[in-house]
């Protein structure tokens, strides 16, 4: 009985993994090629003749973690970070991009399985730690691997770059204006960020990336990132997994985009403290307090704000005991 169940689960996972790239490939083969061509032409424009001044000096695009279900449902625990970013002077924060779909279509939108995702969402609302919620994480994690795959990544990342461009334009961003754009990616959102950076950085957009516990690959997009700040926790297993799984990130990997960016000094790896990826004592944990009195959530917010405002990052020293407060 147990063996049959395990085989069934394995077959389900294999099939789910097999069809994971079809979302992006289906988009590409129907309308994606035309849409992508249009986006690339827009990014490459030298002067579009529109000199309307941009309302902001700096544009930040927040790409949520693999727990996101659509572009408008940022998990509650991440909202204080988004609010802190919005409070930065002259900064426009874009947070309506769903990084796990090339068409920005949320899981509960017009999809064949939208009924399933709506049920999963309801189950998650009732009980955030519900096992059904892991389905969302699993589905989105597969898209992370689609983005990092050299076969599918070029099409997938072009789709997400297009969504980022459209979101920026909705906020008045001029693609020929050269105003800096910072992609902030939490968890899987960080990989999607560096993937999209390849296309975003084709023209005049200066692209920077802040990764919070990102499971990053050695994506070619790193070549077009002006700077990457990789914020990580010392107990974050998933972040470490990225460094193991993707051979181009191994310490002796030669000619990989990751090694090249490291050599050029375009990557800063900052260890925030003894944070886990999820579960307890994670980056957005508002109930665990570091010895300096800040919650782990505040440590993360301070770090992101510090790198955006070129201030030194205040981290938690290794071996410091943390304490729990009521949330």
Question: What residue ranges bind other proteins (CB under 8 A)?
Answer: 14, 17-21, 25-26, 28-30, 33, 36-37, 40-41, 44, 142, 145-146, 148-155, 158, 198-199, 202, 220, 223, 245
Q: Which two tokens stand for residue 37?
A: 């061509």
Nearer to other proteins, 9 or 37 (CB): 37
Q: How far is the CB of 3 from other proteins (least distance, A)?
A: 16
Terminal Cα distance for the chain, rounded: 42
CA angle 190–29–150, rounded 5-degree value: 40
Q: How far is the CB of 29 from other proteins (least distance, A)?
A: 5
Residue from 184, 111, 205, 195 nearest 159 by CA: 195
Q: How far is the CB of 197 from other proteins (least distance, A)?
A: 12
CB 123 within 8 A of CB 132: yes
Nearer to other proteins, 19 or 113 (CB): 19
Nearer to other proteins, 39 or 300 (CB): 39
Q: How far is the CB of 120 from other proteins (least distance, A)?
A: 22
Q: How far is the CB of 188 from other proteins (least distance, A)?
A: 12
Nearer to other proteins, 21 or 214 (CB): 21
CB 166 within 8 A of CB 102: no
Q: Strand 267-273 and strand 58-63: pairing?
A: unpaired
Nearer to other proteins, 33 or 125 (CB): 33
How is the chain split among helix, strand and coil, in percent rounded to 5? 45, 15, 40
Nearer to other proteins, 28 or 186 (CB): 28
How far, in Å, CA of 192 to CA of 97, rounded? Answer: 11
Q: How far is the CB of 47 from other proteins (least distance, A)?
A: 15
Q: Which two tokens stand for residue 180?
A: 């800096």
Residue from 29, 101, 88 nearest 60 by CA: 88
Q: Measured between alpha carbons, how far is residue 183 from residues 27, 43, 290, 302 in Å?
A: 24, 16, 27, 17
Nearer to other proteins, 34 or 51 (CB): 34
How far, in Å, CA of 36 to CA of 165, rounded? Answer: 11
Q: How far is the CB of 10 from other proteins (least distance, A)?
A: 12
CB 196 within 8 A of CB 224: no
């Amino acid at each position: 009985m147990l063996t049959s169940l395990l085989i069934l689960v394995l077959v389900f996972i294999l099939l789910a993994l097999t069809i994971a790239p079809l979302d992006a490939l289906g988009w590409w083969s129907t309308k994606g090629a035309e849409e992508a061509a249009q986006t690339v032409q827009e990014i490459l424009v030298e002067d579009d003749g529109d000199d309307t001044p941009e309302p902001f000096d700096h544009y930040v695009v927040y790409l949520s973690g693999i727990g996101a279900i659509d572009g408008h449902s940022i998990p509650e625990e991440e909202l204080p970070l988004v609010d802190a970013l919005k409070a930065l002077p002259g900064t426009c924060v874009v947070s309506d991009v769903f990084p796990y779909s090339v068409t920005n279509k949320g899981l509960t939108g017009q999809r064949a399985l939208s009924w399933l995702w709506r049920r999963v969402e309801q189950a998650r609302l009732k009980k955030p730690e519900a096992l059904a919620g892991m389905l969302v994480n699993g589905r989105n994690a597969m898209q992370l691997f689609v983005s990092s795959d050299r076969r599918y990544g070029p099409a997938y990342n072009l789709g997400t770059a297009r969504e980022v461009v459209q979101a920026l334009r909705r906020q008045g961003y001029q693609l020929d204006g050269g105003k800096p754009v910072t992609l902030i990616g939490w968890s899987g959102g960080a990989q999607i960020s560096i993937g999209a950076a390849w296309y975003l950085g084709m023209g005049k957009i200066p692209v920077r990336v802040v990764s919070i516990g990102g499971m990053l690959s050695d994506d070619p997009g790193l070549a077009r990132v002006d700077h990457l700040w990789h914020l990580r926790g010392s107990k974050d297993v998933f972040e470490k997994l990225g460094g193991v799984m993707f051979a181009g990130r191994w310490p002796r990997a030669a000619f990989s985009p990751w090694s090249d960016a490291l050599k050029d000094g375009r990557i800063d790896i900052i260890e925030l403290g003894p944070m886990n990826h999820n579960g307890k004592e994670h980056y957005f944990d508002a109930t665990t307090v570091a010895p300096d009195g800040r919650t782990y959530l505040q440590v993360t917010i301070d770090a992101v704000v510090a790198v955006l405002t070129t201030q030194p990052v205040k981290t938690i020293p290794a071996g410091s005991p943390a304490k729990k407060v009521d949330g």
